[in-house]
Structure 1
Amino acid sequence: MPSALANHARVITTLDEHGKSVFSTALPEEAERVSVQGGAAYFSLPYVTGEWPVDLNNDKDLERYEAFLAHPPGVTQQGGTVMRTVDFPPLSLSPMHRTVSLDFGIVTAGEIEVILDSGETRLLRVGDICVQRATMHAWKNPSKTEWGRMTFILAPAQDLEHKGHKIKDEVVEQCPRQRFMGRMDDIPVRPGPSLTNLDGRLTTRAVSSFSGHPISHL
């Protein structure tokens, strides 16, 4: 299913030889979008950094970003940051998942519902922000007709423990009958491989289906 949302510009600034601010021509201003699972969702990667603080000298960060476009990171990038957009088709639902990272998610088109494993939900509208702090969650587009888009900025977190238990990246097995609509107590949870270390094209399972768990349609 082709995304009904227009592609977005990615405008990057730099300095010219005189120290004046100019727009970089190193990359096209239109960010590439990649279809995953035959149009189940669309991803783009507006920017990635491989270290923090970022080294801007001699456009090193731009060179690193170009390398990431050729060999994309996993959901997060250890030691750096990932900016990603996701287009959700109508009535789509992501797997319940967690990465040990701090994620800022901003709705930029449509409405997106965030579902937690406690059963709590919030409906986010354009301009609303969700701060994910290494918690289990799923994303749902409840609209029957409209696409939704979120822009995410993800930063890795230090090792995390809760009441003596180490928190890890994980993905919940799909459970079609429950559709994540009620409490999650009896839904089996499978620890996933480290999503921060998976790489490959944006069309790989690491990003498109959260390590083998496809985006479903309600």
Structure 2
Amino acid sequence: MATNGEVNFEGSPLDTPTLHITSHNGAGKAIIHTSEKPKATLYPEHRFASTNLYVTTAMPVDLNDDIDLKQSQNVISSDFAPSSKGFIHRTQSLDYGIVMEGSIVLELDDGNTTLMSRGDIAIQRATMHGWHNPSGTEWARLLFVLQDCEPLVINGKSLDEDLGTAHGVVPRSGSG
């Protein structure tokens, strides 16, 4: 127990998914390259945990000689603690946010909120947004796929990546 009466944030009780990555052997046959349970990074101040699964750094992806595996890290699975408040931010990317467990509130900087449930998908187009878990007891899990995008310009103004209160705490999305 924390001194302010809140429970200490120790990370998600949801099972860590096993990541299976395929490749090819010397004869060109499909093989399992790796199977592992990635480790989560905890952000207690935001009541949020993130697990980097696989990242590519170019589009189209170069799979030759396992170049992508050598550069890998993204497609982010993130768990949100009960009553988490998140942070408003903008990534310079096209993001697919898929609710895997629980429910989550998507908040936009115009004040609009949308309640999303298991299986719902948000397509973030470099907008200022935040994620909040409205449940007081249940964790929520989202899977994020981020795709790099050209710099966004609205009415002649460049809208760069903005991590808000998570600047310096949460890693940048890539290009911004």
**What TM-score results when the alignment is normalised by the length of structure 1?**
0.69
| Structure 1 residue 85 corresponds to structure 2 residue 49 | no
For the 8 Å contact 1:3–1:39, the answer to whether it is kept is no
Q: Per-residue displacement from partner, 1:171-197 (whole Å, max 9, x unpaired)?
A: 4569xxxxxxxxxxxxxxxxx6xxxxx
For the 8 Å contact 1:161–1:167, the answer to whether it is kept is yes
The CA RMSD over aligned residues, in Å, is: 2.3
Q: Per-residue displacement from partner, 1:81-120 (whole Å, max 9, x unpaired)?
A: x311111000001111112211110010110110111111
3-state SS of 1:11 partner: strand
**Pick from 50, 54, 67: which aligns with 1:60?**
67
Partner of 2:53: 46
Q: Percent same amino acid among aligned pairs?
A: 37
**Structure 2: how far apart are the matches of 1:15 and 1:56?**
10
Q: After superposition, where does 1:1-150 map in structure 2 within 5 Å?
A: 1=9, 2-25=11-34, 28-37=35-44, 40-65=47-72, 68=73, 82-150=74-142
**Structure 2: how far apart are the matches of 1:163 and 1:156?**
21
Q: 1:152 offset after TM fit, Å?
A: 0.4
Q: Cα gap change, 1:116/1:20 in structure 2, threshold over 3 Å: closer, same or farther?
A: same
For the 8 Å contact 1:112–1:142, the answer to whether it is kept is yes
Count of residues in correspondence between the two structures: 164
3-state SS of 1:60 partner: helix
**Structure 2: how far apart are the matches of 1:20 and 1:173?**
47
**What TM-score results when the alignment is normalised by the length of structure 2?**
0.84
Q: Which moved more, 1:146-155 or 1:54-63?
A: 54-63
Bigger relative contact order (CA 8 A; separation at least 6): 1
| Structure 1 residue 166 corresponds to structure 2 residue 130 | no
**Structure 1: how far apart are the matches of 2:47 and 2:58?**
31
3-state SS of 2:41 partner: strand
Q: Per-residue displacement from partner, 1:134-189 (whole Å, max 9, x unpaired)?
A: 11111000000000011101112112211222212224569xxxxxxxxxxxxxxx
For the 8 Å contact 1:104–1:130, the answer to whether it is kept is yes
**Long gaps (5+) in structure 2:** 1-8
**Structure 1: how far apart are the matches of 2:76 and 2:146?**
8
**Long gaps (5+) in structure 1:** 69-81, 175-191, 193-203, 211-218
